Amino acid sequence: MATGQLHIDLDAIAANWAALDAMTAVETAAVVKADGYGLGVGPVARRLAQAGARRFFVAIAEEGATLREVLGPGPEINMFSGHMEGDAGLIHEAGLVPMLNSPEQAARHRAALPDAPYGVQLDSGMNRLGMEPADWAATRGTLEAGPLTLVMSHLASADDPSSAQNADQLRVFREMTGGTTAPRSLAATGGILLGRDYHFDLCRPGIGLYGGAPFTDATPVIRLSLPVIQTRPLGPGEAVGYSATWRADAAARIATLAAGYADGILRAISGRAQVFAGDIACPLAGRVSMDLMGADITHLASCPDHLDLICPAQGIDDLARAAGSIGYEILTALGARYTRHYTGAAP
């Protein structure tokens, strides 16, 4: 089979959620945007609901509608993008809760769905989404009088505990929300790890559920195994791949793997990452191309039928460092051609 095998441990995702939940004394939601961070929102969300998650967060209304089909009635589904033009139908039909990011979104939502619940997102210093202090001050009275379910903001530097921006945003968030009767939320995965001052009423982990930094104690979630299509011997000086970027110093054996950048494997790992035969590392040889990549297996006793790109020996953050990227991109770039195998699936 010339298709990569992506093994996804749903019990590990549930265990990571439970571990993060145990670090707080407040409610723990789950962020499942971008198709469950690339791992499949259906199996992921069902398993998290089974573990105890009752609030979920997605990016946009379309993701929310898909998630509602997965979860059915009951769990609360929030959308970070708020109420965009044309979203009213999906919000109403799927029972979604938009996080309103501006007075314009607030007016749109209240006009289209006057009795429908909503949250409010505030900008505490990231300058990405959310109401500025003046906008919140001007609309706060009206918004707090309605079915307001949550007031939230997002930390920009929570993955760096030494960053002064964390304390600055905490101060601003407290100032903006002082006296509110609605539940408050500031912490995602990194914010949970910063400690109790950041937890408020609700935490909403994302990347930590899927085994990524900064939750360094996370249980690994995925293994990506790539089939070997062909092996060949090389003599000294022979090259591998486009532009001959890798040459054999001595006699070598090269395995050609059935995966490339069309499968979400970033070209930037060329010559920098490795694949694994069990716990034995095999360096990549040559450039990652669209559908193929090479690995030096000279030191293996036999030719394997597959090699692992993501495994306990090389997690998503290890691979991200090789690519000059982050674990989020490694996960969400995973391609559609992989055959996905789920263990620990919810009934």
Beta-ladder partners of 225: 5, 308
Measure Cα distances from 93 to 32, 72, 99 in Å.
20, 12, 17
Out of 37, 118, 210, 242, which one is annotated catalytic? Answer: 242
Helix (H, G, I), strand (E, B) or coil at 184: strand
The reply to whether 37 belongs to the active site is no
Residue 242 appears among annotated catalytic residues: yes
Question: What 8-state DSSP symbol labels residue 177?
Answer: H
Q: 72 - beta bridge partners?
A: none
Q: Following CA atoms 105, 108, 113, 119 in sequence, which dihedral angle do they give, to the nearest 10 degrees?
A: 10
- DSSP notation for 217-249: TPPP-EEEEEEEEEEEEE-TT-EESGGG-EE-S
Residue 197 is given by DSSP the state G
- Selecting among 33, 37, 198, 328, the annotated active-site residue is 33
- CA-nearest of 289, 311, 295 to 228 is 295
Mind telling me the catalytic residues? 33, 242
